[in-house]
Amino acid sequence: MNRKLGKLFRWYDRFGFNIQIFAIFVCAILVVGLITSVFLTRVSSSIIYEHQIRQGLKVTNFMARQTEVALLFQSADVASDIASSIIDLPDIKGISIRTNELVELFSIGNYFPEGSLGVLPEMPLLVAESNNVWVFSAPVYSNQGEHDQLISPQNEHRTFLLGYISILIAKDSQNQLINSITKNNLWTAGLLVLFLALLMWVSSRAMRPIKDLSKIMMSAQGAEEAVLCDVYGPKDIAQMQKAFNTLMEDLFDRSNQLKKAAQSAVKLANHDSLTGLPNRAYLMQHLQLLINRSKNENIMFAILFLDLDHFKAVNDTLGHDSGDLLLKAVSERLQTHVQDRDFIARLSGDEFTIILDSISDTKSVVAIAEKICHSLRRPFLFMRHEMFLTASIGISIFPNDGSDIKDLMKHADSAMFNAKASRDGFCFYKPGMEMVMSRRLESERKLRKGIEENQLQLFYQPKFDLSDASLVGAEALVRW
């Protein structure tokens, strides 16, 4: 070993001082370049890793918000649409959506590492990592998204755990980026042998696109529109920038589609599919909000419970298609007699509910009820045939006839039942009406039981002509 070193130094001593100094300088620069290259590679890898983790958490948190509707309605179809919208994006290899009872609602893509789905975080979290993939998980809570406007004030800050979403993200892009940076840094180290300043300039230029892209990634968090980066720098980094821009544009396009789908799902859940009017669930929510506001502001409102007279005969004679068309026409006429602040809902079948907001007295309610009855008396034209229809309306007033939903709806129904006795009219609730309804229902119940148990007996009472005492007929009587 010593002999070999001695020969090397003797060979080195053959060259002049300038050449020796140049050789030392070149070797020193080469060592500095190699050290700098290794250092820059490690720093770049660390920056990319941290930003990839933040990006994964951001995507997972974003998808958790989008998954709320699917878990709220336990809909695998909606979950499939949500998962399918990003499964084709770069590095997204798998998605698992589970309920709060850890029942899998939907899963797509590659298998998750063993044990990664068993971690139940309270916030978006990296729960597992291997050489090739990351596994991010996040809880999904209720009361987030645009449908929060339908939640009552006392519950608007309350959230409930609906389930969990896990996303499997590959490290392909990170590894490709790290390899690319390593090659660039090695090339830069070679250039340092020629000129140290040139190396510094090339290193700065090579790192600038990555730093700019990192800043863009940071600014993209919570942005209302797609944030794109400038495409420049080395070819592979430019390709990465183009891929990032494509990813952001596609992600926000899919996000807009998911928002529209969520809005449609909320509308379907709260509106009648035939008439487009609010349904019973939406009516109950609106009533609760209106009751709370009316109590605070000390105002009155009226509930009109409307039932179409003899509507079953329309379905039986003309068919359900004609009945559906008639219901649409009725809903259109009803909407012409209320103001924007009022509320119309279709409960079921031929039953509608109208809420008249902020009334001053019952005279205005009478006027609107009369207009509605008069409007429905006008003939409906279907297939060149005129159809005639009437309605019975029961009315209850807040707070006179009740201070909660149950009492107001029950009393309006009792008044409507009383209006049904004469039909084609309206009736305000009066105390004791429900007793009349209760007695009638009880009589009907007992009569049905009497028929089933053969408690009814038929008698024929003869009828005589008093002039000659002759039998002229008989009267049939049923005794119970």
* Average pLDDT per block of 10 residues along the chain, 480 residues long: 65 58 68 75 81 87 87 86 80 88 84 81 88 89 55 52 89 78 73 60 59 66 61 64 73 77 75 90 92 93 94 84 89 90 91 93 93 92 81 94 91 90 90 74 81 86 86 88
Query: For residues 136 and 124, is the Cβ–Cβ distance under 8 A?
Result: yes
Angle at 35 between CA 33 and CA 38, to 5 degrees: 105
Give the model's pLDDT for residue 218: 65
How far is residue 115's CA from residue 147's CA, in Å, rounded to a whole number?
35
The pLDDT of residue 298? 92
| Chain Cα centroid distance, residue 195 | 60
Beta partners for 391? 308
* Dist. CA 83–CA 93, nearest whole Å: 11
| Partners of 331 in beta bridges | none
Nearest alpha-carbon partner for 237 in 171, 169, 172, 179: 179
C-beta separation of 337 from 368 below 8 A = yes
User: What pLDDT does 234 receive?
Assistant: 60
The whole-number pLDDT of residue 343 equals 94
Angular region, 287: left φ>0, alpha ψ -120 to 50, beta rest: alpha
Residue 398, classed as helix, strand or coil, is strand
3-state secondary structure of 288: helix
The Cα 122–Cα 171 span in angstroms is 25
Residue written as token pair 């183009």: 242
Sign of CA dihedral 208, 210, 216, 221: negative
Contacts of 426 (CB under 8 A, 6+ apart): 304, 366, 369, 370, 373, 392, 393, 394, 395, 419
Q: What whole-number distance in Å separates Cα of residue 282 and Cα of residue 270?
A: 5
Peptide bond into 90 cis (omega under 30): no
Euclidean distance between the first and the last CA atom of the chain, given in angstroms as a whole number = 128
Give dist(CA 26, CA 349) in Å, integer: 92
The confidence score (pLDDT) of residue 147 equals 38
